[in-house]
Amino acid sequence: MNFHKALMELSHSPAFINRERSHKLAAMTALCAELLDVERVSVWQFPEQREHIESEWLHTPEGATAETRSLYQSGNPAYFAALESERVLSVPHAQEDCRTRAFSPGYLAPMGIRSMLDAPIFDGARLSGVVCLESTTHRQWTLPEISFVIAIADTVSLMNTHEAWLDSKQALEYATRYDSLTGLLNIKSLRDRISYLIDKFERRGLGSLALLWVDVDRLKSINDGLGAQVGDNVIEEIGQRLKQVIVPGKDLLARIGGDEYALIIRNQTQPDTLEQTAAKIRHEISKPIRLNGHSITVGASLGICHLPGDCDSTEDLLRGAEAAMYNAKHEGRGRTCFFDSSIQISARSRFELENDLRTAIREHKLDVFYQPITSADGSSTESVEALVRWQHPERGWLSPIEFLDIARGGGLMYGLGECVLRRVCEHWQWARNHQIELPEVSVNLAPEQVLIAGLPRQIKTICAEYGVPVRSLHFEVTEDALQGDIITISGILEELVAAGAQLSIDDFGTGYSSLSRLKGLPFSRIKIDRSFISNIPDDEDDCAIILSILGLARGLGLSVVAEGVETEAHERWLCEQGCDYLQGYLYSRPLPFDQLVERFFTSE
């Protein structure tokens, strides 16, 4: 039985789509019980206070029920820790397994439950619940079974996302003004509030404000050591602490990206008061955070800039506070720095790099390297991905990780995208003039690009200028780019496809919201994020996730590219599972255009 096909048929049927949530849960749990031959299938969710988990739906041979039961972390710490740290819990011997044996005396043994299989439900990047299968026989869960249960859990995740959108009459306002991870206001709201206060001060002729730029120290080491999910949980917790902290003159708190927050202090801007405020914030952040059995301690570096005094505009205030924060980190982290002229000098390097990048974009000095995308067996180059590079006149070759954040912070992403496309078209034109036939070229589109209505017109104009058919291009869009206004995004992407281009979702698997939009957006390809490839075929969870993605792609008629293929074991397993295309260092690193042509497209 094709598990994924059955789920797709169910979830896409009008009888399912138009029913209430309880009917959808009943249908999915019944389907899961029938296809996998298990006695009990339940759906659980975390309430706002995450010290316990509550049952939402239970399917048994005797019938189904929505009766609420609770399971508390205090009595089952190993299970809760496993939920947070493991993507899937595959437990063949539930009564003996260290993660679940605490349930045995009062539940597993009396009910005769031998095996369990749990798959996570998400709300964005946040674990919000679990789908649980319980069998009265010992089961060694297979990869297709695990993949199917993950797909069930993903469907519930999509239902959660859709229901949250329907419940909010201000969904668009929330998406554009609030941070999705922490629920705090975002940098757009911060800018608007600062501009409003500046106008108010100028009209009245009095008033002052200070901006505190807060950067969490050590978050990268937490992400590297404990995983991005733990890092996200730390960001959420710190956001809540900053939200609750009481300090004089507190006006607005925002998360401004990554591990950084900003706090407006209004009128209470005397240096001594701000010193005390900063000390209180650092103290609150430094309190231990307990997650997944770990006690995590982080610090914070703060930068403070005044208006008036240090500056007189919104952007100068933001830049000044950020510069002061970087100075605090440079002096040893865990401290507070006020903006002054010496900091302005020390921050000049970052600002100069932004100015250099602005010049490089304006003068068309960015370059493009290419990485081949091969057929499943690695025998032929099916397409190439264009990857931006910058040869700085003093610093040499810079990779995207060294300048994309600066481009994003300086509002340069749209211009950078145009510069990359022009370079790709130049290379394509050169190849045509030299009778070299290039395959399809994949070009990345930033989130900042896909919300600009004029993007398709710009792309068609540039292609026409160089004589490049739009059908020669394949545009890659990350899941993050699909979080904005879906009507605008859909119109832009449809226009690109109408012009002849094809579209991929890049880094697939790192988010969840895009799954609900695949039906309505004209994508032809999925690119599985490299983080799921590195540990296959040894990591059972990653294998299950990849199988789930492959199943979803087949059901929707999409091809699949696996990124980050570095070993023959990666290649062999992916070929066996029917992955369409492969990309990674096993075949080639990103190459300058001349080396690409010489190696792959020039006959001996």
pLDDT tens per residue, range 475-503: 998 876 776 567 778 888 999 999 999 99
What percent of the chain stands above pLDDT 90? 31
The pLDDT of residue 517 is above 60: no
The tens digit of pLDDT for each residue in 360-398 reads 999 999 999 999 999 887 778 899 999 999 998 887 888
DSSP 8-class letter at 42: E
Q: Looking at the predicted structure, is the pLDDT value of residue 567 above 80?
A: yes
| Tens-digit pLDDT profile for residues 72-119 | 888 888 888 888 887 789 999 989 999 988 888 888 888 899 999 998
Mean pLDDT of 214-228: 72
Q: How many CB atoms lie within 10 A of CB 347?
A: 21
Q: Which pLDDT belongs to residue 478?
A: 81
Q: pLDDT tens digit string along 117-146?
A: 998 888 777 788 899 999 999 999 988 888
Q: How confident is the model at residue 224 (pLDDT cuts 50, 70, 90)?
A: low
In whole angstroms, give the CA distance from residue 306 to residue 321. Answer: 8
pLDDT of 341 > 80? The answer is no
The contacts of residue 504 (CB under 8 Å, 6+ apart) are: 442, 474, 475, 476, 477, 523, 524, 525, 526, 527, 561
Cβ neighbours around 368 below 10 Å, total: 24
Share of the chain above pLDDT 70, in %: 91
- 401 vs 504: CA distance, rounded Å: 22
Q: Is 368 helix (H, G, I), strand (E, B) or coil?
A: strand
Using CA atoms, how far apart are residues 348 and 144, in angstroms rounded to an integer? Answer: 55
The answer to whether 478 and 451 are in contact (CB under 8 A) is no
Say if residue 71's pLDDT is above 80.
Answer: yes
pLDDT tens sequence across 170-180 = 555 566 778 87
What was the pLDDT predicted at 410?
Answer: 75
Kindly state the average pLDDT of the residues 278-292: 87
> Both tokens of residue 494?
């449809």
For the record, the structure tokens of 74 come out as 């205090």
Give how far Cα 345 sits from Cα of 302, 340, 341, 418, 524, Å.
18, 9, 6, 32, 49
Taking the C-alpha atoms of 469, 404, 600 and 589 in order, what is their torsion angle to the nearest 10 degrees? -160
Q: Look-up: residue for tokens 């990206």? A: 257
Q: Strands, E, within 292-359: which ranges?
A: 294-296, 299-307, 336-338
Name the residue type at position 187. I
pLDDT for 260 beyond 80 = yes
Domains and CATH numbers, the chain: 3-167 (3.30.450.40), 182-346 (3.30.70.270), 353-600 (3.20.20.450)
Q: Which residue has the higher pLDDT, 161 or 151?
A: 151
Single pTM value for the model = 0.49
In eight-state DSSP terms, residue 537 is T
- Token pair, residue 260, equals 């950084």
Highest mean pLDDT among 238-252, 420-434, 551-565: 420-434
Q: What is the pLDDT of residue 516?
A: 53
Cβ contact 493:477 at 8 Å: yes
d(C-alpha 419, C-alpha 363), whole Å: 9
On the question of pLDDT at 443 being above 90, the answer is yes
Q: How confident is the model at residue 514 (pLDDT cuts 50, 70, 90)?
A: very low
In DSSP terms, 258 is beta-bridged to none
How far is it, in rounded angstroms, from Cα 465 to Cα 426? Answer: 10
DSSP for 412-467 reads -HHHHHHHHHHHHHHHHHHHHHTT----EEEEEE-HHHHT-TTHHHHHHHHHHHHT
Give mean pLDDT, residues 294-312: 85
pLDDT at residue 169, as a whole number: 46
The predicted pLDDT at position 509 comes to 59
Q: Residue 397's beta-bridge partner residues?
A: 391
CB burial readout 144-177, b (16+ within 10 A) else e? bbbbbbbbbbbbbbbbbbeeeeeeeeeeeeebeb
DSSP-H helix ranges across 168-208: 171-177, 187-204
- Alpha-carbon distances of 34 from 144, 180, 259, 305, rounded to whole Å: 15, 37, 45, 63
Give residues with Cβ within 8 angstroms of 60, minimum separation 6.
39, 40
Residue 107 is given by DSSP the state: I
pLDDT higher than threshold 70 for residue 311: yes
pLDDT higher than threshold 70 for residue 604: no
Please check the confidence at residue 587 and state whether its pLDDT lies above 70.
yes
Amino acid 399 reads: S
Mention every residue, 6+ apart, whose C-beta is less than 8 A from residue 35: 1, 3, 6, 148
Q: What whole-number distance in Å separates Cα of residue 302 and Cα of residue 298? A: 13
Q: Residue 86: its pLDDT value, please?
A: 78
Look at residue 410 and give its three-state secondary structure: coil
C-alpha to C-alpha distances, 223 to 116, 220, 228, 538, nearest whole angstrom: 29, 5, 5, 22
pLDDT of 226? 67
Counted residue by residue, the chain has a size of 604
Average pLDDT over all residues of the chain: 84
Task: Indicate the range of 30-34, 277-281, 308-312, 486-490 predicted with least confidence.
Answer: 486-490
pLDDT, average across residues 551-562? 86
Residue 153 pairs in a beta bridge with none
